[in-house]
Structure 1
Amino acid sequence: MRGQVLGVDRHSGDGQIAGDDGRRYRFRPEDWSDRHQPAIGALVDFEAASDRALSIYRLPVPANDAIPLLADRPAPRKRRSKFIAALLALFLGALGAHRFYTDRTLSGVLVLALSCTVIGLLITVPWAWIDTARLLGLDHGEFDRRYN
């Protein structure tokens, strides 16, 4: 059976493999038959015996093959809400909360820095109101294209 190494304990050498059948198999250092040490994400071939992986060998992976590893899978994306962004802009916009929420971190830091002074607040409060109106004016498709 084929699988992928999920983890290895550095002290004991015990580890776990995710098999192609969707089950997890544990192994001990004596089950590892390959000359290379086990590594997280390594693709392996092994014999399954109940919940144990035996005779484990690392599979050669050519550099030009695109085999998706568990670690290479993209993290699930957050779905941002247009209305939450607008509420943040309305109530906490002078602190740049809506900018941080929509992953506009640099402009969020700029708004936050400007808000530290009275003159800066005179700039950021109207700016937040304009952003509230702009966010509410976007249709959902446009908001998703820009921020999701």
Structure 2
Amino acid sequence: MRGQVLGVDQRTGEGLVAGDDGRRYRFTPEDWAQRGEPAIGLQVDFEAEGDRALSVFPMPSARGVATAPPPPASREPVTDRNKIVAAVLAFFLGTLGIHRFYLGRTGSGIVMLVMTITVVGMLVTAPWAFIDMIRYLVMPDREFAARYARR
């Protein structure tokens, strides 16, 4: 039978259900067959025995029953950074790590900036910046947005 929870005693957990047949049925915490607690107004399904509601289950579409949030993968990643701008910065100012600062990668930007002071460091940061530029240009927009989204 189906019905609606009319009330629940918070101390004892005992409650009252109004059945679709117009009668009222009592239930105890042992009769509640679901995790969590019954709530007033919750639509339920139960077995009636005399004036008792046994095996009381909340209805799946009942209000008050928690539903799972949509998976995070269904949301489109959003970023205020542009991969073309990042690639241009990497090409022209890449040895200084400016493109890394633009993308929020401050740690590696500082490393590139400090390494550029020496000639050997410049020989390392120049190819590093060129590879970064190529990566930004070939990376799909969705992956770029997910990787470089502001946190």
Q: TM-score range by the shorter chain?
A: 0.3 to 0.5
TM-score, normalised by the number of residues in structure 1? 0.47
Q: Which has the larger radius of gyration?
A: 2
TM-score, normalised by the number of residues in structure 2? 0.46
